[in-house]
């Protein structure tokens, strides 16, 4: 039986997550279903960004690198994002774009594999329908390092985890279909084959529960402007498992974008590069302070759900909304040539799209 509008209003009235709606600003009457592309403006963002511009920049000027903690923003915002994706403090860095962060972690994974000395392990596997920038970055690095990029269908990924696999590079939730991979299972399969994994969490962070450490994943990256509500062009994030940071340190391996913010002592201004220890060696240039400031307000909108059950509670609501949306589209749009490409099964479905209430969900449809 399909719910009536009255039923849905009654559900809204008892929704424990309803107070989170106040964290977002939307034009009156707008129902927004595109948070998978650009998240909604956090109500706190305009004043917080204005303060960063007027007081921190305008009055504090260069002193604000220390007095306003600009210099630690990538770690601070990174740690907040880390809480949403199962990272421990000190493992996540916010900054740069997803594409650039993917370049850094994929290059690091390639170096780690090469350092093992098995020249027959030279394949990067990804999904044919992965977001193009991921494939383009991988194509470029594969050319540079003499690796092969193999693109496969989602159901065939596990079968391609063989002895030649160097890196399994997947987007956890597919940007077109909303289909979600089993991160823990595929990571286990890739590890059993001797390979490393990279997970793009662009459509997962702030949208579905993720536990990178429990999954024993190797590297992860993701966008700040989608479900994290960081604003247009918001900085992205990057995570590396500490075991790889330790190996990189021990073997003197650097990720190739060895800029001064990833130096062990950037303000010594020495002519030689010496990578910082830990995740800081993945930093490159000067952090985008205003972008990180806006992003922090966005990440805070998701963290605000922690006392109300956190990502698990958001997930329950997201699934319920998507189920309802699918049912209503099937009921009301039948005969209009629409077919559903999003899986109906919860275990393999992400949270297609977002709305400020706090997570509406829209399955992807195609003609
Ligand atoms: C899975 C995925 N990765 C990466 C990106 C974009 O990367 P960038 O922020 O570098 O443009 C997108 C954009 O939609 C995406 O869906």
C-alpha closest to that of 301 among 21, 32, 46, 64:
21
Instruction: Determine the distance separating the centroid of ligand 1 and the alpha carbon of 103, expressed in angstroms.
Output: 12
Assess whether the C-beta atom of 236 lies below 6 angstroms from ligand 1: yes
Q: Which residue has the tokens 């998507």?
A: 322
Which of ligand 1's atoms lies nearest the C-alpha of 236?
9
CB neighbours of residue 105 within 10 Å: 26
Instruction: Tell me the domains of the chain and their CATH numbers.
Output: 5-42+310-366 (3.90.1150.10), 67-295 (3.40.640.10)
Dump pLDDT digits (tens) for 8-56: 899 999 999 999 999 999 999 999 989 899 999 999 999 999 999 999 9
In angstroms, how far is CA 95 from the centroid of its own chain? Answer: 12
Compute the distance between CA of residue 129 and CA of residue 331 in angstroms, rounded to an integer.
29
CA–centroid distance, residue 151 to ligand 1 (Å): 18
> Is the pLDDT reported for residue 367 higher than 60?
no
Nearest to 93 by CA among 202, 222, 204: 222
Question: What is the residue-averaged pLDDT of the chain?
Answer: 94
Give 330 or 219, the one with higher predicted confidence. 219
Q: Helix and strand tally (H, E) in the chain?
A: 10, 11
Closest residue by Cα to atom 14, ligand 1, is 37
**Selected residue with higher pLDDT from 352 and 295:** 295
Q: Are 347 and 303 in contact (CB under 8 A)?
A: no
More confident of the two residues 355 and 142: 142
Please enumerate in sequence order all residues whose Cβ is within 8 A of that of 192, keeping only pairs 6 or more positions apart, or say none. Answer: 161
> Whose CA is closest to 195, among 109, 286, 287, 80?
109
Which residue from 358, 202, 229 is spatially nearest to 296, judged by alpha carbons?
A: 229
Query: Can you tell me which atom of ligand 1 is nearest the CA of 97?
Result: 10
Rg (CA), the chain: 21
The DSSP bridge pattern shows strands 123-127 and 148-152 to be parallel
The Cα 363–Cα 344 span in angstroms is 9
For the Cβ of 223 lying below 6 angstroms from any atom of ligand 1, the answer is yes
Report whether 44 contacts 191 (CB < 8 A).
no
pLDDT, position 329: 86
Cβ of 108 less than 6 Å from ligand 1: no
Ligand 1 centroid – CA 353 distance (Å): 14
The predicted structure's pLDDT at residue 1? 61
The model's pLDDT over 95-140, given as tens digits with 9 standing for 90+, comes to: 999 999 999 999 999 999 999 999 999 999 999 999 999 999 999 9
CA 289, 294, 296, 301: dihedral to nearest 10 degrees?
180
Distance from residue 221's CA to the centre of ligand 1 (Å): 10
Pick from 242, 204, 240, 210: nearest CA to 224 = 204
Both tokens of 43, joined, read: 């109500």
Residue-wise pLDDT tens digits, 283-336: 999 999 999 999 999 999 999 999 999 999 999 999 999 999 988 888 888 888
- Is 90 strand, coil or helix? coil
Q: Is pTM beyond 0.85 here? A: yes
Q: What is the mean pLDDT of residues 263-282?
A: 97
DSSP letter, residue 275: B
Confidence (pLDDT) at 361: 41
Q: How far apart are CA 31 and CA 287, in angstroms?
A: 34
């Amino acid at each position: 039986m399909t719910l009536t509008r009255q039923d849905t209003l009654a559900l809204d009235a008892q929704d424990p997550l309803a107070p989170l709606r106040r964290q977002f600003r939307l034009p009156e009457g707008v129902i927004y279903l595109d948070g998978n592309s650009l998240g909604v403006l956090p109500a706190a963002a305009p004043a917080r960004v204005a303060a960063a511009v007027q007081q921190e920049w305008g009055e504090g000027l260069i002193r604000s690198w220390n007095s306003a903690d600009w210099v630690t923003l990538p770690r601070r915002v990174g740690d907040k994002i880390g809480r949403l994706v199962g990272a421990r403090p000190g493992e996540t860095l916010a900054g740069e774009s997803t594409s650039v962060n993917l370049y850094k972690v994929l290059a690091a994974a390639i170096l780690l594999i090469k350092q093992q000395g098995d020249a027959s392990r030279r394949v990067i596997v990804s999904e044919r329908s992965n977001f193009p920038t991921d494939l383009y970055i991988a194509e470029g690095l594969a050319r540079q390092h003499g690796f092969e990029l193999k693109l496969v269908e989602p159901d065939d990924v596990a079968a391609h985890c063989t002895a030649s696999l160097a890196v399994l590079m997947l987007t956890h939730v597919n940007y077109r279909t909303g289909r979600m991979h089993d991160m823990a299972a595929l990571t286990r399969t890739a590890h059993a084959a001797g390979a490393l994994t990279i997970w793009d969490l662009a459509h997962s962070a702030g949208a579905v529960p993720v536990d990178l450490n429990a999954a024993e994943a190797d590297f992860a990256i993701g966008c700040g402007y989608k479900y994290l509500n960081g604003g247009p062009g918001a900085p992205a994030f990057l995570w590396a498992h500490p075991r790889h940071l330790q190996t990189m340190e021990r073997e003197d391996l650097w990720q190739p974008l060895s800029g001064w913010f990833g130096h062990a002592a950037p303000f010594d201004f020495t002519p030689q590069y010496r990578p910082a220890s830990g995740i800081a060696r993945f930093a490159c240039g000067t952090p985008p302070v205003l972008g990180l400031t806006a992003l922090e307000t966005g990440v805070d909108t998701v963290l605000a759900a922690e006392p109300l059950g956190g990502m698990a509670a958001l997930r329950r609501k997201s699934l319920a909304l998507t189920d309802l949306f699918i049912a209503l589209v099937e009921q009301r749009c039948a005969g209009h040539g629409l077919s559903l490409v999003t899986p109906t099964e919860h275990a393999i479905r992400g949270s297609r799209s977002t709305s400020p209430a706090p997570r509406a969900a829209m399955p992807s449809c195609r003609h």
